[in-house]
Amino acid sequence: MSLAQTLKRYIRLYALFIKNSVIAQMEYRTNFITGLLVETAYLFAKCLYVIVVYQTDLHIGSIGPDQILMFIGTYTFLTGIYWGLFGINFIKLPEHIRNGTLELLMTKPISLQFLVTLRHVDMGLALPNIIGGITMIVISWNKVNLDVNFYTVGGFIFFIIIGVIITYFLFLIPQILSFWFVKTSAIDDVSNSLWDFNNMPMTLYPKWAHFIGMYLIPIFIITNFGPLFLYDELKVSDVFWAAGVPFILISSMRLMWNKGLRNYSSASS
Amino acid sequence: MTLISVQNLTKHFEYYEKEQGLKSSFRNLLHRKKMVKAAVEQVSFEIKKGEMVAFLGPNGAGKTTTLKMLSGILHPSEGSASIMGFTPWERKNEFKKAMSIVMGQKSQLWWDLPAIDSFYLLKNIYDLSDENYNNTLNELVELLDVKHVLNIQVRRLSLGERMKLELIAALLHSPKVLFLDEPTIGLDFISQKNIREFLKKYNRDTQTTIILTSHYMKDIEDLCDRSIIINKGKLIYDGKISEIQSAFQRKKRMKISLSELLAREQFETLGSIKEYNGYDVVLEVENERFKEIAHLVLEQYPVQDLTIEDIPLEEGISLMYQKGEQDQ
Amino acid sequence: MKKYMLSFNMGIQNAIEYRFNFFLSLISIVFPIIIQTSIWIAAFNHSSEATLYGYNFTQMLLYTLLAALISRLVATGIEYEINEDIKNGGLNKYIIRPINYFMYKLSVFIGSKCLQYIVLSILIAIIVSGATFYTDEYELGVYKILVSVFILISSCILNFLISYIISAIAFWLTDVSYLFVVTTLLVNIVSGGVFPLEIFGNTVNRIFDFLPFKYTIYFPVNTLNGNLSGAAITSSLFIQWMWILVIYLLAKLVWRRAMTRYIAVGG
């Protein structure tokens, strides 16, 4: 099968996943509504940061509250994407491993990773953050008086897409640990807290944290680079690094995934 | 034509021991004791195309582990297997498309959706043509008589209906080999019977090779000519079912509780005494004679309670196992 | 009493079994602390005022650190367990056995929290003594230490009771495990576990005054960081205990009704 055909097949499958998820959610409206509630509560918690930023007239270097709002908005938007498309599957991976449903999925003639990590889509988790995030981005965009043209919007979207890709691989990696450990809720805790670093411009943090968040655990690229690009604060080398990181993450994630799977199929009975 | 050939298949796995109590919890903080268990040990056999074979054995004997290795889910620690020329645990897509596995306690259907949506997803996963898919689906739906539940959420269906749908899901792509792990577990009598009849017919019509594990004797008797008995990870019997039946199906076990004390001698002529304490007696009697003996006991002895049961599979197998050791 | 000791031991065993998780979860509270501390450093740097929201820099840093630790200290998570017990019929075991469900949950809970209590107390002690050592504007006498310990214990009791009463929702609504995520988060926010309650403004704070939540985190934190005067501590402590009593009685009432309902519908 050629690459184009394979790609077409997987896109068709993903469309089916989405369709099935939506049908299932409409059937179980309570789940959908509780999902909405949870994320609205989290959105509220994020707004506390906005409140503090504006009330204290927080300035980080040359960046003021209106600019900071762009970071919080991007972070909120990507949180919606993360939970709605990926997170909902990632947290099920330990369950799949524990009660053995992974075994049935392993016997299917398509990529196991695709099947496990993208099967469910949760609109309830996604919507509040996506709507809240876009609102913040638009408000900030206006208040800062940014141009709306192909270059700014296109560039911003480019970095958002890079952010989505990095999110997927970076946050899948810790879940793969559940191939080795039984109880992993703390891993979730840690990676969720790591994720929260993103709601502020990275220049807020000390230099060593920059370094870690840019090069070791590249979380800052996810939500910082879009706004930084808009404010013209990205170096050319940063752009190249951002474009390269996904490749590094994909290979390390695949390495771990295969190792975990091998461990699973040789250690359990 | 040999379709499956297995040689010296062995599976060891490690686990950690946890003793009861607080003290051992603290000890485990520092050091956990690693244990190795042999789930399957040096198992070899061959299976021909179109055969229907049963893996038989008590819980934890290694049946399911063997099945999982054959379907490519698990890696063996040693040994080899070839199914249609593939090594299962290489997990080639061609292999996956030619086989299927159903596990009695695990579902591959989406519970929140009607089965038909799951089937359509499987059509796309297995890349089936519309024509192929529609034909197979219609045939299976007809055979299993589930047309009326196709559009109902799987969650709302009975266990028996769900199992039928699981079977359809597994057979949509017309696999050449079908693995069934405890397909009738938890089902009521009629559903069990339906599923057995379906499997029998499907095997006959399509010549699909079927391997199933079960601990219900009835499943095995009805479906398979050949059974492979596994106990404590080792293969202890491979052959006709009718022959093992003679080993432990010839006798019935009778538990009698008495309201008065009776001497042991009173029972000696009836059958072999397995247990005796004056008030409770366990007898093993010949199959042909159990009605007559039950009658006799009820009439002549001060019986409080009387139960008759088959000799449990576990015991039958251990009987066979002992016999096997003696023969060597 | 012995059966509750056994339940307590079971809790400890569980905690030890999953020790990996406990230590990782300790790491995870470090991150929000870093984020918030960074925000306050930047805010105080940029601001011309000496205090923000009525806290000086030291008090604010102490607030951030202590609020995160005390949030963990008083956190329970029993809502999820009780929900499980109700949904899987596990509750039946306790109805037919001569064991009080509340006491049982409490014993297991304290057992599973033991390790956390010890570690968190040490961390709080280190932070408080560190603050005494580094700045002159902060002092904590023996008397205040004793009072603080008592307040912290009371806070744990109060929050346990609040969780216990919230978990009764599971009797009336099905599939509430998600909902408990919401309640936990909201309770934490209005208890002052994320930011000082002052950020909500005066009007909202007047409402908070009439709710029990601020007495679980906000109150002990402000006692420890030196923001509350002696008189304010005494009156708050009084209100805290009033809330403990009120919620205890309320919990009893709610649970009695819930249990009758539970038995009536047959689990």
Residue A43 forms part of a structural domain? yes
Instruction: Reply yes or no on whether the pLDDT at B328 is more than 50.
Output: no
Instruction: Reply yes or no on whether the pLDDT at B182 is more than 50.
Output: yes
At residue A257's C-alpha, the angle toward residues C14 and A5, to 5°, is 140
Distance set, CA C165 to CA A94, B77, C109 (Å): 31, 52, 15
What distance in Å separates residue B20's CA from the closest CA in chain C?
10
Chain A residue with minimum CA distance to B38? A269
Mean pLDDT for the stretch of residues B166-193: 92
Q: Say which CATH topology domain B2-245 has.
A: Rossmann fold (3.40.50)
Instruction: Reply yes or no on whether the pLDDT at B19 is more than 80.
Output: no
Terminal C-alpha separation, chain A: 34
Contacts of C34 in chain A (CB under 8 A): 197, 205, 209
Question: Which of C22, C24, C195 has the most A C-beta neighbours within 10 Å, making it the best mutation to test the interface with A?
Answer: C24
| Cβ–Cβ gap A101/B117 under 8 Å | no
pLDDT in tens, B197-238: 999 999 999 999 999 987 777 777 778 889 898 888 888 888
pLDDT in tens, C140-170: 778 888 999 999 999 999 999 999 999 988 8
Report the pLDDT value the prediction gives residue C16, as an integer from 0 to 100: 72
Q: Write down the mean pLDDT value for chain A.
A: 90
How far apart are the C-alpha atoms of B164 and B148, rounded to whole Å? Answer: 12
Q: Please tell me whether residue C206 adopts helix, strand or coil conformation.
A: helix
Contacts of A106 in chain B (CB under 8 A): 72-73, 91
Contacting chains of C (3 CB pairs or more, <8 Å) are A, B
| Cβ–Cβ gap C16/B18 under 8 Å | no
For B37, the enclosing helix (H) or strand (E) is strand B33-48
Nearest to A104 among B101, B124, B126 (CB): B101
- A82-100 residues labelled b (16+ CB within 10 A) or e (exposed): bbbbbbbbbebbbebbeeb
Mean pLDDT for the stretch of residues B263-279: 82
CB-based contact, A159 to chain C, within 8 Å: no
pLDDT in tens, B82-134: 999 999 999 999 999 999 999 988 888 888 889 999 999 999 999 999 999 99
Q: Write down the mean pLDDT value for chain C.
A: 86
Tokens of B328: 């060597």
pLDDT in tens, C175-193: 677 788 889 999 999 999 9
Q: Is the Cα torsion angle B189, B195, B196, B201 positive or negative in sign?
A: positive
Chain C residue with minimum CA distance to A203? C38
Contacts of A35 in chain C (CB under 8 A): 178
Contacting chains of B (3 CB pairs or more, <8 Å) are A, C
Q: Write down the mean pLDDT value for chain B.
A: 85
Domain count, chain C: 1
Every domain of chain B with CATH number 3.30.70 lies at 250-327
| Cβ–Cβ gap B73/A106 under 8 Å | yes
Residue A201 forms part of a structural domain? yes
Report the pLDDT value the prediction gives residue A128, as an integer from 0 to 100: 95
For chain B, count helices (H), then strands (E).
12, 13
Q: Which domain holds residue A184?
A: 3-263
Amino acid letter for position A187:
I
Every domain of chain B with CATH number 3.40.50.300 lies at 2-245
Chain A residue with minimum CA distance to B74? A265
How far apart are the C-alpha atoms of A113 and A115, rounded to whole Å? Answer: 5
Domain count, chain A: 1
Instruction: Reply yes or no on whether the pLDDT at B324 is more than 60.
Output: no
Report the pLDDT value the prediction gives residue A183, as an integer from 0 to 100: 66
Q: For residue A204, which of A62, A54, A47, A44 has the smallest C-alpha distance? A: A62
CB-based contact, C179 to chain A, within 8 Å: yes
| Cβ–Cβ gap A107/B117 under 8 Å | no
- Residue in the block written with tokens 């919507």: A127
Q: Say which CATH topology domain B250-327 has.
A: Alpha-Beta Plaits (3.30.70)
Residue A268 forms part of a structural domain? no
Report the pLDDT value the prediction gives residue B24, as an integer from 0 to 100: 66
- B247-286 residues labelled b (16+ CB within 10 A) or e (exposed): ebbebbbbebebeeebeeeebeebbeeeebeeeebbbbbe
Alpha helices in chain B (DSSP H): 22-30, 63-70, 93-98, 115-125, 130-144, 159-171, 189-206, 217-223, 241-248, 265-268, 290-300, 313-327
How far apart are the C-alpha atoms of A10 and A4, rounded to whole Å? Answer: 10
A contact residues 18-77, partner C, Cβ 8 Å cutoff? 30-31, 34-35, 37-38, 41-42, 44-45, 48-49, 51-53, 55-60
Chain A residue with minimum CA distance to B114? A24
pLDDT in tens, B227-263: 898 888 888 888 887 676 666 666 788 888 888 888 8
Mean pLDDT for the stretch of residues B300-312: 81
What distance in Å separates residue A81's CA from the closest CA in chain B?
23
Q: What percent of chain C has pLDDT over 70?
A: 94
Mean pLDDT for the stretch of residues C32-53: 90
- C50-85 residues labelled b (16+ CB within 10 A) or e (exposed): eebbebbbbbbbbbbbbbbbbbbbbbbebbbbbbeb
Report the pLDDT value the prediction gives residue A262, as an integer from 0 to 100: 87
Q: Which domain holds residue C15?
A: 2-261
Instruction: Reply yes or no on whether the pLDDT at C74 is more than 50.
Output: yes
Distant-in-sequence, close-in-space partners of B155: CB < 8 Å, separation ≥ 6: B111, B112
Nearest to C12 among B18, B22, B28 (CB): B22
- Residue in the block written with tokens 């949030």: C71
- C11-25 residues labelled b (16+ CB within 10 A) or e (exposed): bbbebbebeebeebb
| Cβ–Cβ gap A31/C32 under 8 Å | no
Question: Could you tell me which residue, C211 or C102, shows the higher pLDDT?
Answer: C211
- Please tell me the least confidently modeled range out of A46-60, A129-143, B57-71, C81-95: C81-95
Complex prediction ipTM: 0.84
Q: What percent of chain B has pLDDT over 70?
A: 87
| Cβ–Cβ gap C16/B25 under 8 Å | yes
pTM as predicted:
0.81
Q: For residue B69, which of B140, B1, B117, B11 has the smallest C-alpha distance? A: B11
Report the pLDDT value the prediction gives residue C159, as an integer from 0 to 100: 95
Question: Which of C20, C37, C39, C175 has the most A C-beta neighbours within 10 Å, making it the best mutation to test the interface with A?
Answer: C39
Report the pLDDT value the prediction gives residue C267, as an integer from 0 to 100: 45
Report the pLDDT value the prediction gives residue C37, as an integer from 0 to 100: 93
Residue C220 forms part of a structural domain? yes
Tokens of A85: 């498309």
Report the pLDDT value the prediction gives residue B312, as an integer from 0 to 100: 65
Where residue C133 falls among pLDDT bands split at 50, 70, 90? Answer: confident
